[in-house]
Amino acid sequence: MKPSLVSNTPLRGTQPHCQTCSLNSLCLPLSLSDNDMDRLDDIIRRGRPIQKGQLLFQQGEEFQSVYAVRTGALKTYTLASNGEEQITGFHLASELIGLAGYDNGEYPLTAKALETTTVCEIPLTQLESLADDLPDLRRQLMRNMGTEIRHDQSMMLLLSKKNAEERVASFLLDIAQRYARRGFSASHFRLPMSRVDISNYLGLAVETISRVFTRFQKNGLIETQGKEVILQDMDTLNELAGLVDEEACEHK
């Protein structure tokens, strides 16, 4: 088995503790006491950045850790029998990655950095032991697993029921909402993934993705500047995505 890319020794002088991390309210239960936060902080491994194209873990490897993305972004994918990638998700800062391996003891997916990325590694055995003592932490893990399942179900619906424009609109709004949860703009953000990756994820040809983006720009729905995207007509995008009542959707 290849060695972990995350150092066993936390780099305390250069990287934040859980208590001082700007993302702790998103990936940790708010009700943890300072002492409990310190206990969690003690088991987390923080290493050097993972460079673009480098693997965090690989399909079939033993499931040993859960990871919280601190900066950057990753994609997860499976390999078909012919060796082709099928992208299953994109993971942004504050989001957990690796939980899908919990049920059978190995990672069912490969995770690759889309850009320079830093993660917090949480070893499984220590996490389970700590979660036994901290019910709020266990509930947070269950909530994250539930969110992951709901997202997978939404993706299945997206690929089976929606046309190209509806898929792209849904994708852009999903990314927008995830940025908003981190306190960033929901209408102006950067897409860390390539058009090729987006086309793979949405089950569309890359030429189709380009045509839809061009059509959206022509119709005043979005503006693009390289990988920067500005959502200019949220109402129409929500209608295309089937989210007519955006506020109701966000509060589900």
Provide the pLDDT for residue 219: 97
List, for residues 37-90, the tens digit of each pLDDT value.
777 777 688 878 999 999 999 999 999 998 989 899 999 999 888 888 999 999
Q: Which CATH architecture has domain 24-155?
A: Sandwich (2.60)
Q: Fold identical between 24-155 and 162-250?
A: no
CATH of 162-250, one of 3.40.50.11780, 1.20.140.10, 1.10.10.10, 1.10.1740.10: 1.10.10.10
How confident is residue 12, by pLDDT bands cut at 50, 70 and 90? very low
Give domain limits for the chain: 24-155, 162-250
**171-179 long-range CB contacts below 8 Å, 24 or more apart?**
171/198, 171/201, 171/202, 172/222, 172/229, 172/231, 172/237, 173/231, 173/237, 173/238, 173/241, 173/243, 175/90, 175/92, 176/231, 177/250, 178/92, 178/95, 179/92
pTM: 0.80
List, for residues 126-183, the tens digit of each pLDDT value.
887 887 887 877 777 777 777 777 777 777 777 777 899 999 999 999 999 999 988 8
